[in-house]
Amino acid sequence: MEQIRVALQASDPLSQAGLASYLQSRPELVLVRSADRGEAKVLVVSCDRLTGEVVAMLRRSAAEFGTPVVLVTGEITETELLTAVECRVVAILPRAAVTADRLAHSVLAAANGGGVMPPNLVGELLKHIERLQRDVLTPNGLNASGLTPREIDVLRLMADGLDTNEIAGELCYSERTVKNVIYGVTHRLKLRNRSHAVAYALRAGMI
Amino acid sequence: MAPDCEDPSSPFAGELFLTLAAEGRLVVDSARADAVISGLERTLSLARARLRVLRIWQHAPAQRVDELPRELADDVVDAVFADQLAPGRLEEAVTELPKYIEAMRQARRLVPPGDAA
């Protein structure tokens, strides 16, 4: 069995000793000395927070060796997550939840993953994309469904069976405004008719 | 190679996503990637439309909301207010969202359906 060479860097001696004992307890892993970090196939980094100092070290390591990193940390924000990913972090383990098995599993996955991020990390990145879209749209009174709050109000009443006149009365709009809203949403979203617009809004979970 | 640091005050990380996809580190199954791309394209289209509204308003000789049709007035008020809260955010979105879209297209191309995240 080929052993996987692992380098370890922790921000405090206790974590260094604890994680080293976890790694050394696994026959498939071999811990390399700090000076031999360049030979490691995986780097394990432990820190309470992703401080500037830790980020600088990760950047240097990424630039110099490009080794995949398993990060053990107390807490991490979304911005820090992006920074970590940029620095070749491929797995993040919450400090309080680290066990020898979990650590070994992450190290093996990092070693065998060919640099590809695991699904849970990709999932976190996709959450960033979702949040980003909300941050762009919400302050503008828009949402990812492509419907404005006014359009949603009109569609909701259409779904309740109200005609144009009744919708106008309910929302205190003119009939012309209601017609414009309906025309706008069907035209913009390339919907065929009112029923199609209602179906679209239902499918998008907006009404 | 990691991208140069993006503006730390910006919520966008388009260059990072492009790098991750180009290096094959970001891999997304085709169904999920298509859904994300579709959402991003919709958001981009809305951001561009809203930016057009904002620019028309900014270049209007007399900026009087009460002279606008009600449908447009609401959009103008929303756009101007949002721009006051986060100046330049829409312009940034229109520049950055295409990078995410391209990154997702690259990430999608790299894997057959069902093989990855």
- CATH class for the domain made up of A140-202: mainly alpha
Please report the pLDDT score of residue B116 as a whole number: 47
User: Is B59 within the bounds of a domain?
Assistant: yes
**C-alpha A165 chain-centroid distance:** 45
Residues A102 and A93: their CA atoms lie apart, in Å, by 8
How many beta-carbon pairs below 8 A join chains A and B? 101
User: Is B80 within the bounds of a domain?
Assistant: yes
CA distance between the termini of chain B = 23
Task: State the nearest Cα–Cα gap between B99 and chain A, in angstroms.
Answer: 12
* Each residue's pLDDT tens digit, A136-174: 888 877 777 767 778 888 999 999 999 999 999 999 999
- Which of A132, A108, A122 has the alpha carbon at shortest distance from B10? A132
- Which of B100, B108, B96, B105 has the alpha carbon at shortest distance from B48? B96
pLDDT at A131 over 50: yes
- CATH class for the domain made up of A4-120: alpha beta
Structural domain boundaries enclosing B83: 35-109
Residues A160 and A206: their CA atoms lie apart, in Å, by 14
Beta-carbon separation of B39 and A63 below 8 A: no
Q: Identify the residue among B10, B15, B71, B104 best suited for mutation to test binding to A, counting A beta carbons within 10 A and taking the highest.
A: B71
Number of domains chain B is built from: 1
User: Is B93 within the bounds of a domain?
Assistant: yes
**Would you list the domain boundaries of chain A?**
4-120, 140-202
Please report the pLDDT score of residue B50 as a whole number: 85
Task: State the nearest Cα–Cα gap between A161 and chain B, in angstroms.
Answer: 23
Residues B20 and B23: their CA atoms lie apart, in Å, by 5
Look up the ipTM and state it: 0.81
